[in-house]
A and B are shown apart, each in its own frame.
Chain A
Amino acid sequence: MKAIYKREMKMYFNSMTGYVFIAFFVLITAVYFSMMNILSMSPQFEYVLSSVIMMFLILGPMLTMRLLTEETRYKTDQLLLTSPISISGIVVGKYLAAVSVFLIALLITAIFPAILSIYGNIATVQIIGSYFGFLLLGGVFIAIGLWISSLTDNQIVAAVGTFVAIFLLIMEENIASWASGSVAFSLLFSVILAVLIAFYFYNNTKDKKYSVGLFGVLVILIAAVYAVKPTLFDGIAGKFASMFSVLTRYNYFAMGIFDMSSVVYMISFITVFLYFTVRVIEKKRWS
């Protein structure tokens, strides 16, 4: 794990990626800081951080897109997987390296609230909470990006995939509130879910007949449930979407509420995606 971590850190800072990431992150934060704090003469730095979240759409893929894609592409995974280290060691090593780069950038931006504190009172608790939540949120996005990079050997595909995933997570609240009202949408959502399950089944078994059969059974089941008790579909998509409410959790931190359940939630989120990544790599060896 240590060897992987060291190599990844070296790669971030031997190439431009690490510097560009940090520079870009600090620059964007500085722009928001100037506009929201200095020009509008407000001490509320936590709003700046909340605004910067949008930048994850670009920064997330930048950090994670080559982590595992390059290994598959240049066959260097052959070296890693035949070395006496575990797959989880490889995954965690890479993950921690990406998080470290992110953390460095985050620490640099701490200059801004420090500047504010010279000229007046700042909401220290909210700002510390924001930073803590921001770190966890970044950790979640990086874990997802790492997982997506394990699925493909193409950097661009990984980047776009990560972009879409982060976009959906950021937009999650909007999607949930929009989706929860409509029964038709819930029905559609259930069918999409059935397609995904059938596809997952097909991907694992490569058996067309049973996969289509499974899809048929699921659709009939959905139709039956809808016929018997249509109210059950009220807000099913919304409920499902709220399972991925990382941003809502972040907002608790930004308000200065140190909610233990949110911490556990974020860390479980990260763990699950790191576990998925390990599974994807392991599965490649068996197929």
Chain B
Amino acid sequence: MIEVNNLVKNYGKYQAVKDISFRVEQGEVLGLLGPNGAGKSTTMNIITGYISATRGEVKIGGYDILKNPREAKKRIGYLPEIPPVYVDMTVTEYLNFVADLKGVKKAEVKTMLDDIMEKIKITNVSGKLIKNLSKGYRQRVGLAQAMVGYPDVLILDEPTVGLDPKQIIEIRDLISELGKTHTIILSSHILSEISAVCNRVIIIHNGQIVASDTPDGLSAKLSQNRYRVRLKGDENAVLEAFDKNENVAFAELTQSDEEGTCDIFLEGANGVDIRETAFEVAVKHNFVLLLINSEKMTLEDVFLQVTENEPVEEKMPEATANKNKEEAPKEAEE
């Protein structure tokens, strides 16, 4: 449904988007994730045809956004970062204008707008001037605007910003429901939202795609088979024992809640079940094994890992393990 190929956007010398490519299939809900200034909004602005890309192409339902803008734009409903509402119009006036803009047939306008306002729950403010509405309601009016004309594709730039928790849940449910019949691209920095709503997540950082998978797949891929093991014993002795063991691919000390114990993150080397190794090591060195817990990374962790430490898999374990080694004695002295 949406095809983005080798998108590049330069602002003068600054490159906001560096060669982004992805596809979104019919009925898919794609989440764009990334820190501020990562290029999410720029990408969305290019997809919707608001700005033009320096290089690359965007196709909506097979129509190129530059070569055939009218057909492509007919298929898109766009909610930008700031809802594009005219503050000196009432909600109904505004939505009627949008319907007019999008070429909705006169006979269908009223039922369509009533239906949309019902769904988004703005019927009660339909007669109010938009300038008198709260941020949350303006956001909803913006969302309603995107739905006018029932486009196949919805592009939503941070749709739940400024809403209260109850509204967030409502909008989220609405997006989930719309996702059944629409193709949706949604950007957010609230990760729980993305994992709740999206089938697939793309993490953008510095204008590049750094990770792309399902929310579960993403956390599974990065956490692999990592376990938290709690042992009674000296921190340094524990770390040393595991570091020496050849079945351990990754060992990192971490904070323990219990007095006189230490926690360590462990990962097995190529397919070894690290739980067995943990038990064997504990027996051999006389540590008392208190806890083995599967450590699943949340999307937050994945996000932080991907955007902070760029070469994720290789560099990190050793670096942090060393760092902990250095810090550990200091803590012991204190």
Of the listed stretches B48-56, B199-207, B218-226, B307-315, name the one at the interface; the rest are far from the partner chain. Answer: B48-56
B87 touches A74 (CB 8 A): yes
Band of interface residues on B = 20 to 34
Q: Could you list which residues of chain A lie within 8 angstroms of chain B, going by C-beta atoms?
A: 2-4, 6-7, 10-11, 14-15, 74-86, 206, 285-287
Cross-chain pairs A/B with CB under 8 angstroms, 11 sampled: A4-B101, A6-B97, A7-B97, A7-B100, A14-B88, A75-B80, A75-B82, A78-B45, A82-B48, A84-B74, A85-B70
B88 touches A82 (CB 8 A): no
Cβ proximity bits B57-85 to A, threshold 8 Å, 1 near / 0 not = 00000000000011101101010101011
B49 touches A82 (CB 8 A): yes
B49 touches A81 (CB 8 A): yes
Please name the residue on chain A nearest to B46 by beta carbon.
Answer: A285
In this complex, which of A77, A80, A84 has the most chain B Cβ atoms within 10 angstroms of its Cβ? A84
| Chain B positions 2-19 with a Cβ under 8 Å from a chain A Cβ | 11-12
Partner of A76 from the list B45, B48, B86 (CB cut-off 8 Å) is B86
A85 touches B101 (CB 8 A): yes
In the bound complex, CA of A85 to CA of B103 (Å): 9
Q: Does B210 contact A (CB under 8 A)?
A: no
A84 touches B69 (CB 8 A): yes
**A206 partner residues in chain B, CB cutoff 8 A:** 12
Q: Does B189 contact A (CB under 8 A)?
A: no
In the bound complex, CA of A169 to CA of B111 (Å): 51
Kindly list the 7 A-B residue pairs having the minimum CB-CB distance in the complex, ordered from nearest. Answer: A3-B100, A79-B84, A84-B73, A82-B48, A76-B84, A83-B101, A84-B74
Q: Does B93 contact A (CB under 8 A)?
A: yes
Q: Does B289 contact A (CB under 8 A)?
A: no
**B76 partner residues in chain A, CB cutoff 8 A:** 82
In the bound complex, CA of A8 to CA of B76 (Å): 24
Which label, helix, strand, loop or mixed, suits the secondary structure of the A interface?
helix
**B70 partner residues in chain A, CB cutoff 8 A:** 84-86
A-B contact sample (19 more), CB < 8 A, given A6-B97, A84-B103: A3-B97, A3-B100, A3-B101, A4-B101, A7-B86, A10-B89, A14-B88, A74-B85, A77-B84, A78-B45, A78-B80, A78-B82, A79-B84, A82-B76, A82-B78, A83-B98, A84-B69, A84-B74, A85-B70
**A83 partner residues in chain B, CB cutoff 8 A:** 73, 98, 101-102
Cβ proximity bits B84-115 to A, threshold 8 Å, 1 near / 0 not = 11111100010001101111000000000000
Please name the residue on chain A nearest to B145 by beta carbon.
Answer: A79
Q: How close is B128's CB to chain A, nearest CB, in angstroms? A: 14
Please name the residue on chain B nearest to A80 by beta carbon.
Answer: B101
B101 touches A76 (CB 8 A): no
Q: Give how many A-B residue pairs fall within 8 Å (CB-CB).
A: 71
In this complex, which of A6, A74, A81 has the most chain B Cβ atoms within 10 angstroms of its Cβ? A81
| Chain B positions 208-238 with a Cβ under 8 Å from a chain A Cβ | none
**B84 partner residues in chain A, CB cutoff 8 A:** 74-79
A82 touches B100 (CB 8 A): no
Please name the residue on chain A nearest to B53 by beta carbon.
Answer: A286
Please name the residue on chain A nearest to B70 by beta carbon.
Answer: A84
A11 touches B52 (CB 8 A): no
- On whether A285 and B52 interact (CB within 8 A), knowing A3-B100, A79-B84, the answer reads yes
Partner of A81 from the list B50, B71, B87, B97 (CB cut-off 8 Å) is B50
**B87 partner residues in chain A, CB cutoff 8 A:** 74
Q: How close is B191's CB to chain A, nearest CB, in angstroms? A: 26
A10 touches B101 (CB 8 A): no
In the bound complex, CA of A86 to CA of B78 (Å): 17
Please name the residue on chain A nearest to B84 by beta carbon.
Answer: A79
A285 touches B88 (CB 8 A): no
In the bound complex, CA of A157 to CA of B101 (Å): 29
Please name the residue on chain B nearest to A206 by beta carbon.
Answer: B12
Please name the residue on chain A nearest to B85 by beta carbon.
Answer: A76
Q: How close is A171's CB to chain B, nearest CB, in angstroms? A: 36
In the bound complex, CA of A81 to CA of B45 (Å): 10
In the bound complex, CA of A83 to CA of B93 (Å): 17
In the bound complex, CA of A83 to CA of B101 (Å): 7
In the bound complex, CA of A287 to CA of B84 (Å): 21
**A4 partner residues in chain B, CB cutoff 8 A:** 101
B102 touches A84 (CB 8 A): yes
B100 touches A2 (CB 8 A): yes
A285 touches B51 (CB 8 A): yes
B88 touches A11 (CB 8 A): yes
Partner of A10 from the list B71, B82, B93 (CB cut-off 8 Å) is B93
A79 touches B49 (CB 8 A): no
Please name the residue on chain A nearest to B80 by beta carbon.
Answer: A78
In this complex, which of A15, A77, A287 has the most chain B Cβ atoms within 10 angstroms of its Cβ? A287
Q: How close is A263's CB to chain B, nearest CB, in angstroms? A: 33
**B74 partner residues in chain A, CB cutoff 8 A:** 84
**B89 partner residues in chain A, CB cutoff 8 A:** 10, 14
**A11 partner residues in chain B, CB cutoff 8 A:** 86, 88
**B93 partner residues in chain A, CB cutoff 8 A:** 10
